[in-house]
Structure 1
Amino acid sequence: MKNLRKKLSYYGNLIIEKKLTAGAGGNISARDGKFIYLSPSGFCLDEIKENQWVKVDLETGKIYGKLKPTCEISMHIGIYSAREDVNAVVHTHPPITIGLISAGVKFKPVFPDFVSLLGEEIPVIEYVTPGGGKIREKV
């Protein structure tokens, strides 16, 4: 458990270092049995200390601790509930990618194995208001 939170902090720092999101945008989580640990609301990913990851029971939705989880908690729970083989969720807002998508640019997979998994274009969902349950349905 502590090792998992340490890894989340490491990847949170890496996401910011590589400029894959700006400010407090984006959120990440990882599965630990019947629980997940996810980023707290209002934090930049590189500011989250190991003991600040929010623990959530996947079966009941119970939130442990005093910090409020990311507003995208329903998306994270939805992914883990739908896919038992998924052990981590990384949701970033890369500024350049967001700009290109907003301009209508389509992305094509670069590697043949990605084409077989994704098709000729990488799927993108339309904009949804953060924090609502709609992103859970779209993803």
Structure 2
Amino acid sequence: MKFLNPLIVVSDLEKSKRFYYEVLGLEIVLDFGANVTLTGGIALQTKDTWSTFIHKNDNEIVFGGNVAELYFEEDDFDVFIQKINDIAGINYVHTILEHSWGQRVVRFYDPDNHIIEVGENMIMVVRRFLKSGLSIEETAIRMDVPVDYVKSCLG
């Protein structure tokens, strides 16, 4: 058994392809018309074909359940935030917040209300804390991770 990729259902495939390219930089790897695989392994499936696959009516396909997300990490988090601030129509779950371990994240919805989370790459979090003057040991305590994890981020 091997897991291949997540598949999300979309109501407007062209709009979703544009969103994932313009906002997250994902490109089309495979295009089968009603099913598209993007870089990173995410597959988009049209709502009408999906409803036939699972033998449901279109009105039984419900978007926006807020029960799952697609998670991405970004090395240059500040540049990414500036980029999405310049894109009209981003519908935020929440703007930037910092988790207790120090990682900054933002969550927003795609055109069909699937949650997208973009977090600061954890290696960059370690580097940010070290650059601020914390020692390796203090960074480990601040992030609630082992010292060896902090050291591995420096390699």
TM-score when normalising by structure 2: 0.23
TM-score when normalising by structure 1: 0.25
Q: Which structure ranks higher in relative contact order (CA pairs < 8 Å, sequence separation ≥ 6)? A: 1
